[in-house]
Amino acid sequence: MCGIIGIVGKQDFEIKEALKMLKRLEYRGYDSAGYGTSSGNIAKCVGKIENLFEKVNNEKARVIIAHTRWATHGNVSEKNAHPHADCKNEIFIVHNGIIENFLELKNFLKERGHYFRSDTDSEVIAHLIEEFNKENNFEEACKKAFSMLKGSFAILAIKKGYEKIVGIRKDSPLVVGIGKNVNYIASDIYAIIPYTKNFIFLHNYDIIILDSNSIRIENLKEGKVKRPIEKIDVEIEEEDNNFHHYMIKEIMEQHKIFDYIFEKNKENFLIFADRIRNSKKIFFVAAGSSFHASIYGYYLLAKLGIYSQPILASEFKNFKNLVDKDTLIIAVSQSGETADVLDAIRIAKSMNSKIYSIVNVYGSTLMRESDYYLLMNCGFERGVAATKTFTAQLTAFYILYKILKNEEFSLEELRAKVLDLLGKSRREFIDKISEVLKEKQHIFLIGRGISYVSALEAALKIKEISYIHAEAFPAGELKHGTLALIEKDVPCIVFLDEENKDETLSNAYEVKARGGTIIGVSPFNDPVFDIWIKIPDGREDIVIYQIIPMQILAYLLAIKKGNNPDYPRNLAKCVTVK
């Protein structure tokens, strides 16, 4: 889940400009950061990339690699930050992923006299290259070292005095950006898209040798290969200084998603719907917020009499015997790089299933490995907690539902209702609720049917950025154990929709009778509510209206507790390790 970049130029490139590129990947990891150059300079810091800027004056270099880390092996410290070096401090590497056989390799290298400075799995890569560089040139040494690695990895390697970058990709993304007298490489297109519109997406086991004017690709299994150059003309929004955090910016721009998701996908939605109609078995595969959106899709298909099943991507291998050539896998992912999701679709493909995906990032691995895909088209999302991408996923399933049902729908109406929810008076009211909740240790959330999806996602938002324990339940399950946890003033957020109104209200009264505080999220008021968050009326679209106030609530809770909602502890947005 780390971010990596590399630059090879004919002329010197400013280190500070390279760090600006790296900062665009900080959502991938913000434990520590570092850079290395072909002149042998290296600098590291703990914490955010801003700390690294302080170590740079006006330094320039022709070859630069840089890294922002999310820790897997080894604690958060400067010694564990990347780049990692060999014994002589001449070979530097940056790595995203996990080296599964690093202990075996480390012992092999120690027997040959290598000594290690860090606790990471990544450092073995630099020493392996050093070992093979004794009898081979640098490129061959890299190839030999890479061939010994097991696990998932995107790696860039450089050597002092050598004006090339050698890299490899295996189950972790790498994309090349082609410039004039300069070439770029990164773990995400977003880092380099301001500098070029021409890209090469690497495949698994592709080894790349990059200099300022040439790109050479070999594949460990196929030998020399050619990968197409793709022109991607995407505008990236300028930073908006009117917002203190990316999360609130992305919450506030959710009304825009309705302008793009359908208009750019009309034909794709029809093809997607037709495949759903003609599939004997359907499984949703996703993780995190995307899994909650998949549960919403599952409920909607059930309304149409279409059987499907949502499966957590990390658990999918336990259900592989249910998958065959007549199965449709609907994979849902914001990044398109989630390791568990990719692992699941590859298992399904091995069983000859069709893979249709809903994804936000163009050129992502999921997009490229799917038989068909829908792009959310909702713009880049930098906040770790999913907001506008979750709403886009809900909208995609809502549109599919309406098409499958042959019903007309108005995205303009959706847009207007969402704009109302984002209004100043609405936010000020939720701010008052956050004052009530900020010191609570536990929050329970309940709903039935599609409103249970809102409870699940709201609980995730609250706990991942405010660190308050929040737990969601189907409302009918309260009597089966959860009521034992209800005490005086314990808050319970209740999501109501017209279809399940009476039964859910009955459950709310059960909580109220035991001293709980009831916060209703509903188009209509009820005496059981201690606090009422009014939302627009809706049917299948009501989940969209229920979740937006909860996103705002989670954000405000995080702020009041002194947390940075963009960078929650222990989390990164793009989960590229299993």
Q: Which residues contact 419 (CB under 8 A, 6 or more apart)?
A: 255
CA distance 207 to 165: 10
- pLDDT for the residue numbered 56: 84
Q: Assess if residue 500 is contained within a domain.
A: yes
Q: Which stretch of DSSP H or E encloses residue 578? A: none
Domain boundary among 231, 266, 286: 231
> Do 541 and 464 fall within a single domain?
yes
CATH code: domain of residue 218: 3.60.20.10
Q: Assess if residue 577 is contained within a domain.
A: no
Q: Assess if residue 237 is contained within a domain.
A: no
The token pair at 78 is: 């400067």
Compute mean pLDDT per 10 residues along the chain, 578 residues long, and list them: 88 88 79 90 86 84 89 78 93 92 93 92 95 95 95 94 94 91 90 90 94 93 90 62 83 88 86 94 96 97 96 95 95 91 95 95 89 88 88 96 93 90 93 94 94 96 94 84 74 93 89 89 94 94 96 96 85 56
Written in H, E and C, the secondary structure of 81-113 is: CCCEECCCCCEEEEEEEEECCHHHHHHHHHCCC
Q: Which residues contact 346 (CB under 8 A, 6 or more apart)?
A: 369
Nearest to 555 by CA among 438, 473, 380: 438
435-461 pLDDT tens trace:
999 999 999 999 999 999 999 999 999
- Residue 488: other Cβ atoms inside 10 A: 8
193-246 pLDDT tens trace:
889 989 999 999 999 999 999 999 999 999 889 999 988 866 555 555 577 888
Distance, C-alpha 407 to centroid of its chain:
33
> Do 411 and 560 fall within a single domain?
no
> Do 174 and 321 fall within a single domain?
no
152, 172 Cβ separation under 8 angstroms: yes
Annotate 138-197 with DSSP letters as a single string.
HHHHHHHHHHT--EEEEEEEEETTEEEEEEEEESS--EEEE-SSEEEEESSHHHHTTT-S
Domain boundary among 421, 452, 482: 421
> Do 274 and 333 fall within a single domain?
yes
332, 284 Cβ separation under 8 angstroms: yes
430, 552 Cβ separation under 8 angstroms: yes
Q: Which residues contact 513 (CB under 8 A, 6 or more apart)?
A: none
Q: Assess if residue 352 is contained within a domain.
A: yes
> Do 416 and 438 fall within a single domain?
no
83, 40 Cβ separation under 8 angstroms: no
CA distance 448 to 310: 17
- pLDDT for the residue numbered 152: 87
CATH code: domain of residue 286: 3.40.50.10490
pTM here is 0.82
- pLDDT for the residue numbered 573: 52
Domain boundary among 200, 231, 262: 231
- pLDDT for the residue numbered 22: 86
Residues taking part in catalysis: 2, 573
> Do 362 and 388 fall within a single domain?
yes
Annotate 60-76 with DSSP letters as a single string.
EEEEEEEEEE--SSS-S
> Do 248 and 173 fall within a single domain?
no
CA distance 297 to 286: 12
> Do 215 and 258 fall within a single domain?
no
CA distance 184 to 6: 6
Proportion of the chain in helix, strand, coil states, percent, rounded to 5: 40, 25, 35
Q: Assess if residue 212 is contained within a domain.
A: yes
Helix (H/G/I), strand (E/B), else coil: 53: helix
Q: Report the domain count for the chain.
A: 3
> Do 284 and 162 fall within a single domain?
no
> Do 334 and 185 fall within a single domain?
no
Q: Assess if residue 525 is contained within a domain.
A: yes
> Do 396 and 251 fall within a single domain?
yes
- pLDDT for the residue numbered 243: 76
- pLDDT for the residue numbered 239: 53
Which domain covers residue 325, as residue numbers?
242-421
Q: Which amino acid is at 470?
A: A
> Do 271 and 358 fall within a single domain?
yes
The residues facing 184 across adjacent strands are: 7, 177
Q: Assess if residue 459 is contained within a domain.
A: yes
Q: Assess if residue 339 is contained within a domain.
A: yes
**CA–CA distances in Å: residue 89 to residues 40, 67, 76, 396, 455:** 7, 17, 21, 51, 52
CA distance 50 to 161: 28
Q: Tokens 């829908």, residue? A: 374
Q: Which stretch of DSSP H or E encloses residue 304? A: none
Instruction: Work out the percent of the chain whose per-residue pLDDT is above 90.
Output: 64
- Residue 500: other Cβ atoms inside 10 A: 19
CA distance 57 to 466: 37
Nearest to 185 by CA among 175, 198, 196: 175
